[in-house]
Chain A
Amino acid sequence: MLHVLQVILDAIALGSLYALVALAIGLVFGVMKLINFAQGDYITLGAYSLVVPSASITPPLLFGALPVPAMIFSVVITCVILALATERIAFRPLRNSSPATLLVASFAVSYFIQHVTMLVQTGRPKSVGIGSQLANAVEIAGLRMPGVQILTMGVTLALLIGLVLFLKKTPLGVQMRAAAENFEMARLLGIRADKVIALAFVISGGLAAAVSMLLVVQTGTLDLRMGLMPVVIAFFATVIGGIGSLSGAALGGFLVGFVSVLLQTYLPADLRPSRDAFVFGLVILTLLVRPQGLIVTSAAKERV
């Protein structure tokens, strides 16, 4: 029984992390029909901003040396600026292009950021000892809870609630939802596209910053490809959840993380190395059963 509870706890923690990434992907897709693969590079760069950019494999800390609130603020600002810059330079000129063009553009942006980072930081993974106390686990009633798992769940919950309140209760949030629903109609009604889209990127940058810090505390390492896997998973998550639906994206991210922990736990040893094949197999199965995703928005319905 205890074992099962522990597995569920592990699964919720990973699911929460993926939900955060999926939320960012879903948000930007909602307003712009852009599947932004560069989201992974916002995460990577946010993490790298903790250390001084250099070729050294044991670099001194940059933002990581600041007191925690200042560190969080600096990383968030870094990711937000990066997200806004990519929007302004790469995505805005392509706004009226097809989603396929946008997708290709996001790959280009992602490769560009990756290679510039590699040029400055080299491709060798680095290590940072930030938040090591958080990586330690506390045992509560026999359940092992690493601080970072609790933090991940807490941050996800807080950001999710914050985002829902923002979207439902503030004028800006309502504009954003309107734009996600029917972009042209929203524009005709006087909503400024630039503002809404920029805002979506600001939020996605903020989410990337949260994920990057959680990943660093969890793994203690920096790597050029650290944002890649979460974003690939988040992409599938948004598809399962129902593309264009924010709650769907969060739910999808959560489910993929949850299921991958369950598979890791309950698959026989010989099949465990192929865990991801099962995860993505389930993704395909879900789409066969529910091609429109788990949660269907009215915007998506019209397209079908």
Chain B
Amino acid sequence: MTASKTLTLAAAATVVAGGLLSFGAFAADHPIKIGFAIAESGWMHNYDGPPFKAAVMKIEQINKAGGLLGRQIEYEVIDTKTERERSATAGAELVQSGVDLLVVSCDYDFGAPAALAGNQAKIISISQCAADPKMGVQGVGPYAFTANSAAQAEGIAIAEWAIKKLNLKAAYVLEDTTIEYNKSACAGFRAGWEAAGGTIVGEDSFKNDDPSIAAQITRLKNSAETPDNIFICSFTPGGASAIRQLRGAGIDLPILGNTAMVDNYWLNSVPGLKDFYLAAFMSLYGDDPRPQMNTFVEDHRARWSEAPVSSYSVLGYSLIEQWAHAVKKAESTDGEKVLGVMNGFSDEAFLVGPTSYSSDLHIQTNRPWLIMKVENDSFKAVEMYRNELTPDMNLLFRIGK
């Protein structure tokens, strides 16, 4: 909030200075406003916080370089406190205060209420990292976007890569049914795996807060057909706990995971973990094959005195980058004009990777992934991989089988 106030003051000072020079310049000089209806407290804060910091960094970079359309950008944050109702009021309040862009929480359930307010006022809203395609035209409205890729694409990418590069053929799918995100990632994996010629030899489910997955391990060990790998769609802490128990039970098969299991913070749970692979956005550990990602980490360290806590932060940076690019092209912050430009993005180059939108899809379905593996208690970049199978609407919305 303090940062926002300082910025407002700075922007006001610019406006006053501009006004002194030429009164007519006022309209062009008044600042562009971005509203953040995100969680600054409650558990969601841990997912909203890192992309927000990176977004602020991008805003400051734009301002330093002379602003957007010659105007400075200011921002305001309203804390949703990880509550859906507050998300709605925060969104409405920000819309009333006249924001040009509304940034909402990292999750469909918590971001959509705010985004609805934006959509009604024909203001672009972008979720920092919802991986659910509903965070878009179908679930909110034509003005809603998400900076993330669809969870299905995570599953497809790691499935295709593992078949091609690790020569795996027989997968055992372990699905954490606690949240929809996992189910989407697993659905993507199944589709990608079978399309690439693999077979699924067994499946089981668990809940993120199950203290033990002993029963699932027993079933896996007694599987009629022996798998050559396990795909787990989950998130921490349950995902980490499941992998610990699998390895503890002496199951040394390669484990494939979904993107939520990225970053080193949970690796203490499974000391000496090997043969774990997933599709990630970027590496926080200086070995990303794209030099600009390593620069991003350094810039973040310079701005916030620490490297990004989560690799999801790059999505926050890039959503500002995408919107600013569209505003520049549209030469206006008008929602409808910006929407027109954004809907026309086709492999537009941004830090996070090539980005495409269309009038009916506001989420990425085949942005290239950084395949990462765990080695010596750290995630290591392996190579970039772009999924070949693009999930269709039925798979994205999990309609039918």
Report A's interface with B, CB cutoff 8 A: 3, 6-7, 10-11, 13-14, 17, 57-58, 118, 122-129, 132, 135-137, 139, 144, 146, 148-149, 215, 218-226, 228-230, 261, 264-265, 269, 272-273, 275-276
Question: A7 to B42, Cβ gap below 8 A?
Answer: no
Can you list 5 A-B contacts with CB-CB less than 8 angstroms, sorted by A residue number? A126-B265, A221-B236, A221-B241, A229-B210, A272-B205
In angstroms, Cα B222 to Cα A230, docked, is 28
In angstroms, Cα B214 to Cα A146, docked, is 9
Question: B264 to A58, Cβ gap below 8 A?
Answer: yes
Residue of A nearest to B39 (CB): A123
A10 CB to nearest chain B CB (Å): 4
In angstroms, Cα B271 to Cα A6, docked, is 26
Interface-lining segment among B111-119, B242-250, B358-366, B380-388: B242-250
Question: B240 to A144, Cβ gap below 8 A?
Answer: no
Question: A221 to B46, Cβ gap below 8 A?
Answer: no
Find chain A residues with CB under 8 A from B177 CB: 273
In angstroms, Cα B241 to Cα A220, docked, is 6
The 4 A-B residue pairs with the shortest CB-CB distance in the complex, in nearest-first order: A220-B269, A123-B43, A221-B237, A219-B241
Find chain A residues with CB under 8 A from B42 CB: 118, 123
B6 CB to nearest chain A CB (Å): 23
Verify if B209 is at the interface (C-beta below 8 Å from A). Answer: yes
B270 CB to nearest chain A CB (Å): 7
Find chain B residues with CB under 8 A from A222 CB: 237
B184 CB to nearest chain A CB (Å): 15
Selected contact of B309 from candidates A57, A123, A139, A221, CB within 8 Å? A57
Report B's interface with A, CB cutoff 8 A: 42-46, 175, 177, 203-207, 209-212, 214-219, 221-222, 236-237, 240-241, 244-245, 248-250, 264-271, 309
In angstroms, Cα B212 to Cα A219, docked, is 8
In angstroms, Cα B368 to Cα A183, docked, is 68
In angstroms, Cα B212 to Cα A230, docked, is 11
Query: Of B245, B265, B266, B268, which is in contact with the most chain A CB atoms at under 10 Å from its CB?
Result: B268
A21 CB to nearest chain B CB (Å): 10
Find chain B residues with CB under 8 A from A230 CB: 211
Given A136-B250, A139-B250, 6 other A-B contacts at CB below 8 A?
A58-B264, A118-B43, A124-B46, A135-B245, A218-B212, A273-B177
Question: B265 to A264, Cβ gap below 8 A?
Answer: no
Find chain B residues with CB under 8 A from A269 CB: 203-205
Selected contact of B216 from candidates A124, A132, A221, A264, CB within 8 Å? A264
B48 CB to nearest chain A CB (Å): 11
B336 CB to nearest chain A CB (Å): 38
Q: A144-B218, A223-B237 are in contact. Are A122 and B45 (CB under 8 A)?
A: yes
Question: B211 to A221, Cβ gap below 8 A?
Answer: no
B243 CB to nearest chain A CB (Å): 9
Query: Of B216, B245, B248, B266, which is in contact with the most chain A CB atoms at under 10 Å from its CB?
Result: B248
Question: A123 to B45, Cβ gap below 8 A?
Answer: yes
Q: A123-B42, A218-B212, A225-B209 are in contact. Are A10 and B269 (CB under 8 A)?
A: no
Residue of A nearest to B240 (CB): A221
In angstroms, Cα B309 to Cα A1, docked, is 49
In angstroms, Cα B309 to Cα A125, docked, is 13
In angstroms, Cα B211 to Cα A17, docked, is 9
In angstroms, Cα B221 to Cα A7, docked, is 12
Selected contact of A7 from candidates B45, B207, B215, B245, CB within 8 Å? B215
Selected contact of A128 from candidates B46, B219, B222, B268, CB within 8 Å? B268
Find chain B residues with CB under 8 A from A129 CB: 268-271
Question: A276 to B207, Cβ gap below 8 A?
Answer: yes
Find chain A residues with CB under 8 A from B203 CB: 269
In angstroms, Cα B42 to Cα A132, docked, is 31
In angstroms, Cα B212 to Cα A17, docked, is 10
B357 CB to nearest chain A CB (Å): 30
Residue of B nearest to A214 (CB): B211
Question: A218 to B245, Cβ gap below 8 A?
Answer: yes
In angstroms, Cα B237 to Cα A87, docked, is 30
Q: A123-B43, A125-B236 are in contact. Are A221 and B215 (CB under 8 A)?
A: no
A260 CB to nearest chain B CB (Å): 8
In angstroms, Cα B216 to Cα A215, docked, is 18
Question: A125 to B205, Cβ gap below 8 A?
Answer: no
In angstroms, Cα B264 to Cα A58, docked, is 9
Question: B219 to A221, Cβ gap below 8 A?
Answer: no
Question: B240 to A127, Cβ gap below 8 A?
Answer: yes
Question: B268 to A127, Cβ gap below 8 A?
Answer: yes
Find chain B residues with CB under 8 A from A125 CB: 236-237, 240, 266
B239 CB to nearest chain A CB (Å): 9
Residue of B nearest to A263 (CB): B215
Q: A123-B43, A137-B249 are in contact. Are A57 and B265 (CB under 8 A)?
A: yes
Find chain A residues with CB under 8 A from B46 CB: 122-124
Query: Of B203, B214, B219, which is in contact with the most chain A CB atoms at under 10 Å from its CB?
Result: B214
